[in-house]
Amino acid sequence: MNVRQKLIAERIRDRIWRICEIVPPIKPEPQFWLESDCGPSYCHSCAIKARADEFGLGVPLRDSNRWHCETDLEEAFYDGIDGGRDLESDSTAACYSCGETLSYILTDYGVTEELGYYLESPLASVRAEDSYALDRLCLNIYEGSSRKILLEAAVVVNQAWQLVGQVHP
């Protein structure tokens, strides 16, 4: 393994960890989706509402807190909701209904896309959401990463590093 690439990967990961110490990342909830549509991801409460729509439940029953019915029906209801675990995906994840960031793990393709996005629109500040995005990138940065990914990640992480350095000298 190329020693230089190994050092670059370690440096990138160290910086991301330090950035996450300074600006703790959000802790998003996992993705949920409806078994029937293989479609969008939702946060848990929006998944329940989407499932209620699918069930044709009226507005009063859409509120998950007031959900009560016979056990079999309730089971069928919840059987239609899948998720709650991390899957690899080609893009970041947000709830289809409320837009809340959801937890995700990027594929290498997703990392390339995400780095391209950051290079085109550099960060102006590092918020908790950005720390989380960097933390996710970090999962795919290792000495076996391609040179392109390592170099682009180095640029993006150094931008964030400088921003954090300016706020916390």
Binding footprint of Zn ion on the chain (CB under 5 A): 43, 46, 95, 97-98
Beta-carbon contacts of residue 85 (< 8 Å; ≥ 6 apart): 30
Q: How far is the CB of 100 from Zn ion (least distance, A)?
A: 5
* Helix (H), strand (E) at residue 138: helix 128-138
Nearer residue to Zn ion within complex by CB, 98 or 139:
98
Dihedral class, residue 83 (left if φ above 0, else alpha if ψ from -120 to 50, else beta): left
Type and span of the H or E element at 52: helix 44-54
- Closest to Zn ion by CB, 28 vs 110, is 28
Closest to Zn ion by CB, 97 vs 103, is: 97
Report, in Å, the least distance between residue 94 CB and Zn ion.
8
CB of 130 to Zn ion, least distance (A): 20
Crossing angle between the packed helical segments 3-22 and 147-167, to the nearest 10 degrees: 30
8 versus 46: smaller Cβ distance to Zn ion? 46
